[in-house]
């Protein structure tokens, strides 16, 4: 009925997440509030893990891209489900370290890691550092040498593939700040440099072609482009690289018109290409890593707001203002992202009212959704914005000094806070 599988309507006509009444969540924890179905997150992690185990005979690792939603409990869940995590900053790495996440299963990304972040990664023994450029490679080698360590490295390659997604979230082309370019010879130069370094263990190569992708072909094409490079490396250096990281980017359902494929379809198609093309090139099938972020948590979460004022401007539009906004969900302001909005306490009524849902920030562009259809609402009603599990909490800000929202995980009839609501005192904690 709705875009998210873990959302339904109960006998009181209230919206539920993981069978928990969202109006009760709003009452118990207050609004605005993020709520997740923990079983849905675990199910998604298991599906990815099962399909990589099936398709590559256990020779692969699912690495959750924690930038989509990161907190200690999320990282613990990944460890419990047997997946790795991908971190992109000292802060995300610190979160993983604070719950003793196994270092070998951490992948560290970023196009401009600081010296201190690299030291932190070397000290913790991060299994794979995804090196973005030659400067970083040299710095990492130097740090590793000083500390008497050898660091596992993958180089981020730009395979030059256009994955037909929103231009703001496209990262695979040559005009990108991420990675080594193939066409210019930069990639081969980086590989040869890495192979020659004493304190660097070049485990393999990485690519990530974009985000919110529905089409399977660009993933398959990226894999073959990367394998061509593996072959070229073998021919030119005699070294056969062992690992191929294919990144993330699997699309989820934000609107009814979105049609994501089951992740097992992706895995089957790409693995068939990887297995047969490796054989054709005379290579062993490499160990495969994938880095799903949005597809693990996106549809498992929603945001609850309380309606404040309703402003009808005749012949123009109706603004329904809520107690959050771009501070907890900047994605409409950034990318005009689509979302489904439902009145949680009137979920069984017809959605026949066209409104603009606005936030409470001092910014005209602070909108959650424009021209969206919801049930007729009045002040005090609860609005649910679906599929906000990815890139909402993690992209939130304290704009207007609005405290960050709490996060609640619902599982088997219970709800618990995994992130508490920020207090005004905490907002001022770093102020002198």
Query: Which residues of the shown chain bind ligand PLP in the complex (CB under 6 A)?
Result: 65, 67-68, 86, 109, 208, 211, 247-250, 291-295, 390
- By C-beta, is 18 or 251 nearer to ligand PLP? 251
In the bound complex, what is the minimum distance in angstroms from residue 234's beta carbon to ligand PLP? 25
Nearer to ligand PLP, 15 or 390 (CB): 390
| Residue 16 burial by Cβ neighbours in a 10 Å radius (0-12, 13-18, 19+) | buried
Closer of 16 and 295 to ligand PLP (Cβ): 295
Contact predicate 206/214, CB 8 Å: no
Question: Largest Cα–Cα distance of the chain, in whole Å?
Answer: 73
Phi, psi of 222 (to 5 degrees): -60, -40
Q: Name the residue nearer to ligand PLP (CB basis): 290 or 320.
A: 290
CA neighbours closer than 13 Å in the CB half-sphere of residue 134: 11
Least CB distance to ligand PLP at residue 127 (A): 15
Q: How far is the CB of 290 from ligand PLP (least distance, A)?
A: 8
Compute the least distance from the CB of residue 354 to ligand PLP, in Å: 30
Cβ-closest residue to ligand PLP?
293
The minimum distance between CB 203 and ligand PLP, in angstroms, equals 16
Half-sphere exposure of 259 (CA within 13 A, CB side): 3
For ligand PLP, the closer of residues 295 and 321 by Cβ is 295
What is the Cα–Cα distance from 186 to 155, expressed in whole angstroms? Answer: 11
Catalytic residue among 309, 362, 428, 430: 362
* Closer residue to ligand PLP in complex, CB, 224/295: 295
- Concerning whether 78 is annotated as a catalytic residue, the answer is no
Q: Assess contact for 222 and 172: CB atoms under 8 A.
A: yes
Q: Which residue has the tokens 């973005």?
A: 132
**The two three-digit tokens of residue 380, written as one number:** 């005090």
Rounded to whole angstroms, the Cα distance separating 215 from 217 reads 6
What's the closest the beta carbon of residue 318 comes to ligand PLP, in angstroms? Answer: 33
> How far is residue 56's CA from residue 79's CA, in Å, rounded to a whole number?
21
CA dihedral 346, 350, 354, 360 (to 10 degrees): 10
DSSP-assigned letters across all residues of 213-261: B--SHHHHHHHHHHHHHHHHHHHHHS----EEE----B---SSTT--PP
Q: Which residues are the active-site residues? A: 362
């Amino acid at each position: 009925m709705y875009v998210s599988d873990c959302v339904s309507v109960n006998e009181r006509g209230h919206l539920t997440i993981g069978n928990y009444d969202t109006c009760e969540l709003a009452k118990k924890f207050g609004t605005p509030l993020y709520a997740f179905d923990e079983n849905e997150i675990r199910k998604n992690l298991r599906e990815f893990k099962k399909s990589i185990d099936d398709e590559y005979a256990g020779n692969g690792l699912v690495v959750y891209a924690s930038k989509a939603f990161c907190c200690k409990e999320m990282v613990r869940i990944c460890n419990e489900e047997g997946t790795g995590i991908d971190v992109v900053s000292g802060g995300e790495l610190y979160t993983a370290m604070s719950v003793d996440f196994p270092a070998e299963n951490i992948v560290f990304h970023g196009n401009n890691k600081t010296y201190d972040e690299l030291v932190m990664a070397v000290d913790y023994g991060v299994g794979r550092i995804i090196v973005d450029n030659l400067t970083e490679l040299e710095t990492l080698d130097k740090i590793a040498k000083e500390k008497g360590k050898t660091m596992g490295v993958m180089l981020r390659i730009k395979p030059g593939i256009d994955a037909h997604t929103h231009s703001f979230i496209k990262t695979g082309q040559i005009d990108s700040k991420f990675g080594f370019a193939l066409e210019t010879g930069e990639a081969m130069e980086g590989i040869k440099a890495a192979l020659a370094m004493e304190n660097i263990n070049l485990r393999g190569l990485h690519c990530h072609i974009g985000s919110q992708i529905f089409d399977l072909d660009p993933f398959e094409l990226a894999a073959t482009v990367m394998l061509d490079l593996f072959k070229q490396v073998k021919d030119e250096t005699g070294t056969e690289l062992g690992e191929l990281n294919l990144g993330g980017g699997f699309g989820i359902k934000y609107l009814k018109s979105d049609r994501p494929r089951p992740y097992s379809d992706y895995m089957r198609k790409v693995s068939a290409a990887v297995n047969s093309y490796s054989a054709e090139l005379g290579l062993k099938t490499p160990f495969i890593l994938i880095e799903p972020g949005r597809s693990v948590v996106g549809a498992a979460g929603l945001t609850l707001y309380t309606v404040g004022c309703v402003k009808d401007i005749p012949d123009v539009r109706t603004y329904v203002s809520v107690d959050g906004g771009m501070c907890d969900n900047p994605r409409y302001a950034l990318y005009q992202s689509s979302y489904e909005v439902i009145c949680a306490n009137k979920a069984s009524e017809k959605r026949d009212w066209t409104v603009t849902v606005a936030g409470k920030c001092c910014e005209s562009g602070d909108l959650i959704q424009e021209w969206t259809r919801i049930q007729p609402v009045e002040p005090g009603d609860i609005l649910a914005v679906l599929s906000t599990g990815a890139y909402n909490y993690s992209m939130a800000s304290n704009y207007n000094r609005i405290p960050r929202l709490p996060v609640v995980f619902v599982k088997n009839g219970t709800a618990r806070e995994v992130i508490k609501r920020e207090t005004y005192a905490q907002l001022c904690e770093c102020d002198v």
